[in-house]
Amino acid sequence: MKVLITGGAGYAGNALVQQLISNKDVEEIRIFDNLSKGKHVLLQQVVKSSKIQFIEGDILDNYKLSKSLQDIDTAVHLATVKQPERFHHYMEQVNHWGTANLINLMEEHSVKRFIFLSSTEVYGQSNKEINLSNEIMPETPYAHSMFRAEKYVKTLENKCEVAIVRIPDIYGYNPAMDFSYGLNKRIFDAKYNALLQLDADGLHKQSAVHVNDLAQLICYLSLTTPEQSIYLANSEHWDGMGIYESLKSFYPNLEATFTSHHLRLQDNIIESDETTQKIIKTKTSLTTGIEELLSNLNY
């Protein structure tokens, strides 16, 4: 089997490539990435693997993208942009039109399976636990761009096997990890700044998926006929104060500041579906994920 991964040099891509390399059914892993985030780590890690082919290219570059699709069995689309949201036009170009561009080119090739990494932000904010039955109500520019991308993905459903994986924030150790937002940023701030900035009262619950759990799910879907069209990634729930207390056990001098402390923010809890729970054989606990990340930060 030959697998194409757009955005394959990034955070989720790094973990996915490691899973695919060890699978005997995978003959070739073709990484398509413009390296805009400076993630060269993967190339250094796997350059000796005969399974890897790297193509430096942009998701809007029709010529390179079309070449990358030749003889591919499964395409995994990870190349999206989340930060910063102030660049609305660029986000729309990459997330929406980049996905549309890939799908249009896929129709010229005999790709059998397409996996798209989307976001649970397409559901908007909700006081109730979010599951597959929730109504789609995107609120942010990022969420709107991802939902529009999903609509394009669904046009493939009668032409090849399709799976959309909606995820909350990703966290956990990986050589290409991102410290710019979410749980990873809080862990980084605790270690290097001895300070956590908490929103409102720090008690609203949020969800995060460990990068290795996500890679397990995408790897499985890449190699197997999907049982359903949409999946919610397995996630752990956390709140700012809970993370503060947990990290304080590692760093006794850790302090916390509160922004908009007079507010009570809505919980944002994602419950993964039953099929996803069965696929993820070894789910990483929040405690284990944090400890592993901290143990791999050298300074």
Q: Which residue has the higher pLDDT, 64 or 274?
A: 64
What's residue 155's pLDDT? 94
Kindly report, residue by residue over 206-225, the tens digit of the pLDDT: 999 999 999 999 999 999 99
Whose structure tokens read 């304080």? Answer: 248
User: Is 277 found in the same domain as 140?
Assistant: no
| Catalytic residue check, 142 | yes
Check which CATH number belongs to the domain holding 251 and give it.
3.90.25.10
pLDDT interval class at 86 (50, 70, 90): low
Check which CATH number belongs to the domain holding 121 and give it.
3.40.50.720
User: Is 104 found in the same domain as 139?
Assistant: yes
User: Is 218 found in the same domain as 268?
Assistant: no
User: Is 223 found in the same domain as 158?
Assistant: yes
pLDDT of 230 strictly over 70: yes
User: Is 56 found in the same domain as 37?
Assistant: yes
What's residue 41's pLDDT? 67
User: Is 137 found in the same domain as 275?
Assistant: no
Mean pLDDT within 194-215: 91
User: Is 221 found in the same domain as 197?
Assistant: no
Kindly report, residue by residue over 59-84, the tens digit of the pLDDT: 999 999 999 999 999 999 999 988 66
Mean pLDDT within 149-171: 95
Catalytic residue among 11, 63, 90, 142: 142
Q: State the total domains in the chain.
A: 2
User: Is 195 found in the same domain as 166?
Assistant: no
User: Is 181 found in the same domain as 126?
Assistant: no
User: Is 7 found in the same domain as 66?
Assistant: yes
pLDDT interval class at 45 (50, 70, 90): low
Answer whether 0.85 is exceeded by the pTM: yes
User: Is 242 found in the same domain as 223?
Assistant: no
User: Is 186 found in the same domain as 106?
Assistant: no
The boundaries of the domain holding residue 18 are 2-170+208-232
